[in-house]
Structures are given as structure tokens and as C-alpha cells.
Amino acid sequence: MSKTIKKIGVLTSGGDSPGMNAAIRSVVRTCAYHNIECVGIYRGYQGMIEGDFKEMGPRSVNNIVNKGGTILKSARSKEFMTVEGRKKAHENLVDAGIDALVVIGGDGSFTGAEVFNNEFGYPVMGIPGTIDNDIFGTSHTLGFDTALNTVVDCIDKIRDTASSHNRLFLVEVMGRDAGHIALNAGIGAGAEEILIPEEDLGLERLLESLRRSKASGKSSSIVVIAEGDKIGKNVFELKDYIEENFPEYDIRVSVLGHMQRGGSPSCYDRVLASRLGVKAVESILEGKSNFMVGIINDKVALTPLEQAIKGHSEIDRELLRVSDIMTT
């Protein structure tokens, strides 16, 4: 028989993403709705080790649904990777009377939560927060939709200058291991070519595609490149390579960088965060633990943390085909 849950802790860990605040708000208010206490844990697992806790009520999360970043701050904690660090964190939770934990973060944070659960039998529930959308068990992670809108907005602006000067723009977007941002935003912004880690287009095919596009009458082009693209060159080396082979092109590089992680969350991310927060708390109250809450077939669903960590979030092959057709 599992222990009655009277107090839940919530933290944000790893890279921040838009929608984390809306998820914190949802967790806090769902606790209040069910008459249980909620404690905010600052700076992720590091704050857990240092006992950096603050009681939170429904009014302490006013006016944050629209804010990017995370009011609880995020951190990466080396100490939590050690047994001693986790032991200290566990003692702090027990001392504060916190019975279960909601972890908002990426797969590294989930790994930490799973290890913690295995060691202490402590109830944990994960909410996927990362702009990369690279987590198995959910069609969307918090911040992905907002990042897509940011990238599309930037590329729309780049397109204005690209077409005015007949330039080729190489736009690097985030995604070290996953091309979800590049593929979706590339289609949305009408890119001529999209380079992602999951597909090795190859340099020759890229040049061929640019040649075709020029021959078909396009005077400017935009190529979207995920930072982890396996073409074997970084975006600046790629520029040099294309220039050597294609001297007639005037090429510019734009690395969008951290702006993709910031900004006010989109409506989609706010609604997603609200749904996942409710499900996380209510699942804990039903005695469930060691799951991630996500969206599968438009419904909120639970996936065991182990699967969420080990599973691979596949690129959508249909989107690849759509992208090929759109660049005709």
C-alpha cells in the first residue's frame, strides 16, 4: 500500500524551455485543487541537495503562464550524479515532508529521477521540457512549438534580405541529435533544403539540389541546418565548401542560437503544460510513480521513465517526403 501523498515537490532541470513556467503553475494549482501542499525546489537537483525549497500556493504562480524560462531556475548538478549527493537530497525531502517529486526536464533529468526512485523507492513523475522534441513517449515536448514559431519568424525575416540581394542563406538551428526543429521549421518557412542528423544528404546531393534550384529560376535560397547535421562540416565550413564549388552564389550564415530557447510560450505550449501538470499530479495521487506524462495521439498518456529515456523519438518520414516535394 503506497503512502498517502500530502506534499509534492516540483523542480525544473537541464536546459530551460518555454512552457516550463506554465507547467510549474499547473502542478502548483492542481495540488491546491486537491488540497495538498506544493513545494518549489530551486535550481533543479542542486537545490534539492542544498534544501533550497519554497512553499507554493495558487497565488505564488500568478502571471507566469506567459513567461519564458523558469521561475524556479534550472541547473545541471554534478553532485546529484553521486550517491552521497542523492542521499543528501533524499534527506532534505524527507525532512521537509515532501512525499513525491515532479521533474520538468529532458532525458538527463529523467535519468536522475529514475536513479533516485530506484535507490530510495521515492515517487517521481516526469514532464518533458526541452525545445528539441527528442523524447520518446510524447508527440510534443514543452517549448518545441514555441521554438518552431521563433525559428519560422527569424527565417521569414532572413528571407526578406535573402531575396533582396539574391543570396543563399545557411541558417543553423538547434538540434544536436534530432532534426525535429529543422525539419518542421524548414517546411514552415519554405526552406529550399533541410539538413538533419537523421538523414545524411551528402555534400554532392546538396550541391546538386542547389544547382537544380538555381536552374529552375530561384534567385535566392534558404538552407536550414540542424546543429548536429552529420554532413561532416560545421555551418561555416559548409559555406566555404559551397562557395568553392559554387562561386556565383553570395552566401551568408546565420546561427540562431539561444534565442530559440527563450520567449513567451505559444498557446499550444501553455495548453500542453497545463494538461501535463494536471496529469502528473493526479497520477501521483493515484499511486503511480516512475512515469513520464506526454501526449500520444492527442491524448495525455503515461510512459514508463525507462522507456522515455531509452526509446528513440523518430523523425516523421512523411514530413521528409513533404519537404522533398515542397522543394521542387
Catalytic positions, please? Answer: 132
222 strand-pairing partners: 169
- The CB density around residue 233, as the number of other CB atoms within 10 Å, is 15
Here the cell at position 117 is 526512485
Residues 139 to 158: which contact ligand ATP by CB under 6 A? none
Residues 53-92 that bind ligand ATP (CB under 6 A): 76-77, 80-81
Which of helix, strand or coil describes residue 28?
helix
Question: CB–CB of 122/101 below 8 Å?
Answer: yes
> Which listed residue (9, 15, 128, 143) binds ligand ATP by CB under 6 A?
15
- Helices and strands (DSSP H and E) totals, the chain: 11, 11
Task: Give the binding-site size for ligand ATP (rule: CB under 6 A).
Answer: 17
Query: Could you say whether residue 45 binds ligand ATP (CB under 6 A)?
Result: yes
Tell the burial category of 215 from Cβ atoms under 10 Å away from its Cβ (0-12, 13-18, 19+). exposed
DSSP 3-state of 305: helix
Query: Contact between 122 and ligand ATP (CB under 6 A)?
Result: no
Q: Return the range that interacts with ligand ATP (CB under 6 A); candidates 8-16, 35-43, 226-234, 268-276.
A: 8-16
CB atoms within 10 A of CB 62: 8
Burial of residue 178 (CB within 10 Å: 0-12, 13-18, 19+) is: buried
In whole angstroms, what is the distance from residue 108 CA to residue 308 CA? 11
- Give CA–CA dist 194/320, Å, rounded: 9
- To ligand ATP, the closest distance from the beta carbon of 308 in angstroms equals 11
Query: Which of 19, 68, 106, 265 is in the footprint of ligand ATP by CB under 6 A?
Result: 106
Does position 323 bind ligand ATP by CB under 6 A? no
Stretch of 9-17, 33-41, 54-62, 154-162 contacting ligand ATP, by CB under 6 A: 9-17
Q: Does 115 bind ligand ATP (CB under 6 A)?
A: yes
Q: Using the 8-state DSSP alphabet, how is residue 196 labeled?
A: B
| Nearest CB to ligand ATP, comparing residues 76 and 233 | 76
* Interatomic CA distance for residues 242 and 90, integer angstroms: 54
Using only C-alpha atoms, what is the Rg of the chain?
22
Which range of residues in 63-71, 100-108, 205-213, 316-324 is near ligand ATP by CB under 6 A? 100-108
Min dist CB 187 to ligand ATP, Å, is 23
Q: How far is the CB of 317 from ligand ATP (least distance, A)?
A: 24
Residues that constitute the known binding site:
15, 25-29, 76-77, 106-109, 130-132, 159, 167, 174-176, 190-192, 218-220, 227, 252, 258-261
Pick the binder of ligand ATP from 112, 126, 137, 175 (CB under 6 A).
112
Q: If phi over 0 gives left and psi between -120 and 50 gives alpha, with beta otherwise, what is residue 309?
A: alpha
Bind-site residues for ATP:
15, 76-77, 106-109
d(CA 56, CA 32): 9
If one asks whether residue 117 binds ligand ATP (CB under 6 A), the answer comes out as no
The smaller minimum CB distance to ligand ATP, of residues 13 and 283, is found at 13
Task: Using CB under 6 A, list all residues that contact ligand ATP.
Answer: 13-15, 45, 76-77, 80-81, 105-109, 111-112, 115, 130
